[in-house]
A and B are shown apart, each in its own frame.
Chain A
Amino acid sequence: MGRYVVRRLLQMIPVFIGATLLIFLMVNVMGDPIAGLCGDRECDPATAAQLRHEFGLDQPVWQQYATYMGNVFTGDFGTAFNGQPVTELMGTAFPVTIRLTVVAILFEIVVGIILGVVTGLRRGRPVDTGVLLLTLVVISVPTFVTGLLLQLLLGVKWGWIDPAVSSEAAFGELIVPGLVLASVSLAYVTRLTRTSIAENRRSDYVRTAIAKGLPRHRVITRHLLRNSLIPVVTFIGTDIGALMGGAIVTERIFNIHGVGYQLYQGILRQNTQTVVGFVTVLVLVFLVANLVVDLLYAVLDPRIRYA
């Protein structure tokens, strides 16, 4: 197990370097960010040159990358164009997005798995058909439609929530945005769990468990669910990274100042330091989440072992 973890951690290094290099190149291909910095008016050449020097943009790209990575390992992610250190931006943005992601993941786990178990056990019944139809609708409607619709109905028409989340972004305010963010994944989790449960229900070990006379809830939770959760856990694990990075739409609709907002601003203002910094952290989140998922396999099914 220990060796496996170490090997996985070592594998992360090339992935990490490759991903950041790609992002770095992509942002740089978009052109000179200083040109857009002065608005519709051209920056005067002297100030532009000075700014370019200050942000290190006058050096060759490979050198910029080397310097950048060097700084990253000392915890310095550079400075955004508005004079704020990127780490400060991260300090305000990540807690908000993590809260939002936690709400979304909780929805996925609790609602998604419960619905999946219920429909999986009652395949072909009206409940099953109903939930299947519902998830189909959720999957086919884009997030921004669901978001704007809920905002309009709950926020403006009925006044149950504030349409915009305040800058503190407390858990309570994030319930509806979290649900919107989770909606599509939630539908997938339901369907995955349902299929998995329906399949394993006919397997030998479940029949044996029932034949042993174990109570029904014990059969479901300890035997059926535990084995059925492996594909679901894989999905949820990879979804953590996707939710954090993909929150741009939801964060925009509900005015949440999280990672999505900072990334959007960074791209719009072509702020290399912000974009690369945030993406770097997101890549790390992805990698760690994947590792955790792989380790969870062994917990769920002891037959899966790592040498």
Chain B
Amino acid sequence: MRGATHARWAACAAAVVLAATACGGGGGDGGSGGGSGGVLSSSWGDPQNPLEPANTNEVQGGKVLDMIFRGLKKYDPGTGEAQNMLAEKIDTSDSQNFTVTVKDGWTFSNGEKVTAQSFVDAWNYGASLKNNQRNAYFFAYIDGYDKVHPESGSQSADTLSGLKVTGPLTFTIKLSQKFSTFPDTLGYPAFAPLPKSFFDDHDAWLKKPVGNGPYQVDNYTRGSQMSLRKWDDYPGSDKAQNGGVDLKVYTDNNTAYTDLIAGNLDLVDDVPASQLKNVKNDLGDRYINTPAGIIQTLAFPFYDNDWNKSGSEKVRKGLSMAIDRKQITDTIFQNTRTPATDWTSPVLGKDGGYKPGLCGDACEYNAEEAKKLVKEGGGLPGGQVKITYNADTGSHKQWVDAVCNSINNALDNDRACAGNPVGTFADFRNQITGQKMSGPFRAGWQMDYPLIQNFLQPLYYTNASSNDGKWSSKKFDDLVDQANAETDTAKAVGLFQQAEEVLRDDMGAIPLWYQNGSAGYSDRLSNVKLNPFSVPVYNEIKVG
């Protein structure tokens, strides 16, 4: 009898212990975060592509690369200016041949030295067609790219002939054309160096990436969480100010925001549009809303004769003047967008090429003038414009409807403008690349690097990679070529702005608004800010 009582007591105790550890396990997540020297948690999205420097073209993957990699240059998180990071110096005398000296004493977090070879190998890998790197075109300016990455057929060379290693820490770059601001593009993650392990055991590297930045990957469960911890031996000046960052994948940014409000998450770098009304109340000063290098425009199908005949520039200008940007950014976007008055972004700064007001009257709401211009230009093609957009992400419907409303009001015609939703983003892109657009369509540009060149050349140069509307102007192309050949930065910027004026006079695309980055954080954090790419500057965040 006695034994039986004992047994029962033991079972109860075991149950209690089990229950206690179960509870402890649940609460321990948050607790250990605070204990091990300031680890913060941040919302994240599942990267769309395998996480390789030259293969990452969206913000979520870019966020990680920014934490675990440092390249030759780095963009100042405040000003966006390109500063030397691993580069000791980058010399050129003719804007076409560059000599790069890499700083001594840098290693990857696995101990391997960062040498000139680390860069050249990485760039050759990124450019090579057989590696399917989505960002391969970043290497297109380097001599020999057409052999490594031909437009069709198979590649005839494995390495870029324009890259030569001349010493342990020096290499030369030969470009296929003059490009004076080329060194400033080298801060883009695609140009990051890669360690030997990347090439030796690629699968293992993808499971746990190794880089040379202030953080190293501690643990990566694909699709749910990545734990990054401060790399104590990081040789750079921008050491992490916190113990690490846990990036947690959220299926919905609304849930991330709810988790932040409930105190389970420290940082949300994408405040959902539906919460913008409450965010001041919920977070007060802990809400950030700062300009990012993103501009939204309406592009036109210049392959369609209706939009590319003489006089249609007046119609385009008229449409631009019929859009009340101020009202739309106020009411629909709660001031998280700023009406655009040029084709670049405020993050470039005046020296970098941002020129407020360059668009002039054409971007000011003026119903009378709009009506007059559209009439002079021969009226709207087919009597109605349809603005095409993808309806699956980004809640574009709201603003497209508002833009159409504004156009209808200005032109005194209920049928002047209508939205034309396309079901999926992929189908939307299909129609664009298939040149099937019959009217204006949504276009957006997030800069790769803070240079005026990046806002103009890829988008409006004849047959450029992102010139979706196929706008073409000899005068514009010439000015861009001149600007790229110009070694004096100020003069180059001036030439780019002249090119932008050509774009304005023909209204090659209607600038709508500049987008802001938004973030919210818990009261455990301080010194939180967003860089010009609207990514939090993680290494400067202080915890506790």
Contact = CB atoms under 8 A, between A and B. Distances in A.
B49 A36 contact: no
Contacts of A84: 222-223
Interface stretch (B126-134, B368-376, B534-542): B126-134
Contacts of B46: 82, 265
A245 interface: no
B251 interface: yes
Contacts of A252: 251-252, 255
A45 B152 contact: yes
A40 B444 contact: yes
A255 B250 contact: yes
Interface residues of A, number: 55
Contacts of B24: none
Interface string A23-40: 000000011110111111
Contacts of B433: 35, 42
B255 A44 contact: no
Contacts of A49: 152
A136 B335 CA distance: 42
Interface in A5-53: 30-33, 35-47, 49-51
A253 B134 CA distance: 32
Nearest to A171: B22
Contacts of A32: 426, 430
Given A39-B58, A41-B57, A47-B136, A159 B251 contact: no
Contacts of B50: 82-83
B170 to A, nearest CB: 30
B151 interface: yes
A47 B429 contact: no
Interface residues of B, number: 60
Interface stretch (B257-265, B353-361, B477-485): B257-265
Contacts of B392: 268
Contacts of A159: 262
A31 B424 contact: yes
Contacts of B465: 41-42, 44
Contacts of A45: 151-152
Contact of B137 (A44, A54, A151, A254): A44
A49 B432 CA distance: 17
A88 to B, nearest CB: 8
Contacts of B225: 167
A54 B428 CA distance: 23
B415 to A, nearest CB: 29
Contacts of B150: 46
A255 B136 contact: no
Nearest to B390: A36
A18 B402 CA distance: 44
A163 B251 contact: no
B162 interface: no
A229 B13 CA distance: 39
Contacts of B446: 40
A132 to B, nearest CB: 33
A23 to B, nearest CB: 16
Interface stretch (A64-72, A231-239, A256-264): A256-264
B317 interface: no
B429 A163 contact: no
Nearest to A92: B223
A164 B151 contact: no
A11 B436 CA distance: 45
B221 A167 contact: yes
Given A35-B430, A255-B252, A151 B258 contact: yes
B22 A164 contact: no
B10 to A, nearest CB: 24
B468 A162 contact: no
Interface in A236-284: 251-257, 261-262, 264-265, 268-270
B468 A42 contact: yes
Contacts of A30: 423-424, 426-427
A256 B224 CA distance: 9
A188 interface: no
A285 interface: no
B93 to A, nearest CB: 31
A36 B424 contact: yes
A32 B428 CA distance: 10
B26 interface: yes
Contacts of B57: 38-39, 41
B271 to A, nearest CB: 16
B123 to A, nearest CB: 16
B255 A255 contact: yes
Contacts of B251: 251-252, 255-257, 261, 264
A164 B248 CA distance: 11
Interface in A141-186: 151-152, 155-156, 159, 162-164, 166-167, 170, 172-173
Closest 7 CB pairs of A and B: A36-B426, A167-B224, A83-B50, A35-B429, A31-B427, A31-B430, A270-B426
